[in-house]
Amino acid sequence: MKISKSLVLLLICVTPLAFRNVFITLLGSVGNALSVAPLIGAFLYFILKVIFSEKIEKQFVLPYLYIIYGVFCASIFPLIGIVDYGSTPMLGFFQLFTPLILALFLVQRFRGASYSKVVLNVLITLALINAIGGLIQFFYSPNIFGLISNRVYDGGNEHGFTKRAISFLASPQSLSIYLAFCLPLVRYYSVNKLAKIITFLIILFCGVLTGSKAFFVFLFVYFLLSIDIKKVVLAALIGGLILVPFFGERTGVDTFDRILDIPMKIVNLDSYLTFQIWRDYVLYPSSLEETLFGRGIGVMSTSSQTINNYKILVGSTESFLVQLYFEIGIFGLLLFLFMYTLPPLKLILNNRMKPLALSLLALLSNMAFSPAFYGFSTACLFLLAYSICLRNNYSNGKCLRLNDSLQK
């Protein structure tokens, strides 16, 4: 009964966020409010825990310190913020930190031993639903039942892309990263072997149809992390030999040409528009304190730029990690990387749940080359998987006093 209640809580929190665009389409502003309600509730829980709790479990110390650093960045916004809007730090903190707070809330409330199994099944089921929706959208209806918002239907649109799968996560890139992330996790799905194979193929097929480079970059990085160095070199040589005949070639189908363009963009990196954007944001003029603590949490937030009607450079850093550096500085970026990578690395060292750990580490490649991790839906789902690492790295119930950890 206790596990059942926890599962209900998990679904109540995750479902509105995973299908946020559906809620907004059906209910408008009310649907938007309902979809972010779990984030608000988790944030209030976090505040109460910080105020009234005397101790915190050891594996949660780094995430809590990262969140507290976010509060610090919001409090010094008037000193370092490069835009003059009082709502910006609040919007930025909410968008950047509440997905992590929600993950911490769920992992601490869900006390059943089956937490990892239940969460993985939920994540894979969501991937399967999105993949099926993407296939239907791609082959049957560009905007199925009016619930899939897609601006990249065919070659006649403003972007000039051919048709691409998109589904309920609102963009081909967000969908592709999530599907790629879940592919290695299908082995954990609580179904029979045939159902696992079918699930794997459906997710893989839809991922290819997104036409997103992020899908293939993730799988390539995951593959490299999964094998030893000798096999990495061999795989790179084989992959190079396969791609050489197609170097610079085009198929005429945008979905596949986007993948064939990857080697050309690597060779001509200086002319790659996204690389120029990264460079401009990294070299953006700033003082020493702005370099260390950022140029203002939330200044690159889509919500803040839309509500306050401003744009910095091109409006997007095109990289989650560059965005972290720009908003909360070198200290914030390093603290995030340390907080994020330590739990998966511990799992690998302990030879536990290696596919999950490698999937989370491979996700760093997409954080570097894409801003998609920043979105509410994808961030909440990825950090929910991250919380599994926190649960599985539980150190015999050892705790640290919260007040002491804050002082340090």
Q: Which of 320-324, 384-388, 391-395 has the lowest mean pLDDT?
A: 391-395
The better pLDDT of the pair 230, 52 is held by: 52
| pLDDT of the residue at 322 | 92
Q: Which of 34-43, 73-82, 250-259, 314-323 has the lowest mean pLDDT?
A: 250-259
Query: Which structural domain range is residue 93 located in?
Result: 2-407
Does residue 334 carry a pLDDT above 90? yes
| pLDDT of the residue at 5 | 72
| pLDDT of the residue at 195 | 94
Q: Which of 232-236, 286-290, 365-369 has the lowest mean pLDDT?
A: 232-236
Mean pLDDT along residues 115-136: 91
Backbone angle region of 329, left / alpha / beta, with phi > 0 → left and psi within -120 to 50 → alpha: left
pLDDT band at 385 (very low <50, low <70, confident <90, very high): very high
The burial class, CB within 10 Å (0-12 / 13-18 / 19+), for 135 is middle
Does residue 179 carry a pLDDT above 70? yes
Percent of the chain with pLDDT over 70: 77
pTM recorded for the entire structure: 0.83
| pLDDT of the residue at 121 | 93
Does residue 81 carry a pLDDT above 70? yes
| pLDDT of the residue at 93 | 92
Does residue 404 carry a pLDDT above 50? no
Contacts by 41-46, CB closer than 8 A, 24 or more apart: 41/13, 41/105, 42/13, 42/98, 42/101, 42/102, 42/104, 42/105, 42/106, 43/94, 43/98, 43/101, 45/101, 45/105, 46/101, 46/104, 46/105
The better pLDDT of the pair 158, 179 is held by: 179
Instruction: Write down the mean pLDDT value for the chain.
Output: 80
Q: Which of 167-171, 178-182, 276-280 has the lowest mean pLDDT?
A: 167-171
The total number of structural domains in the chain stands at 1
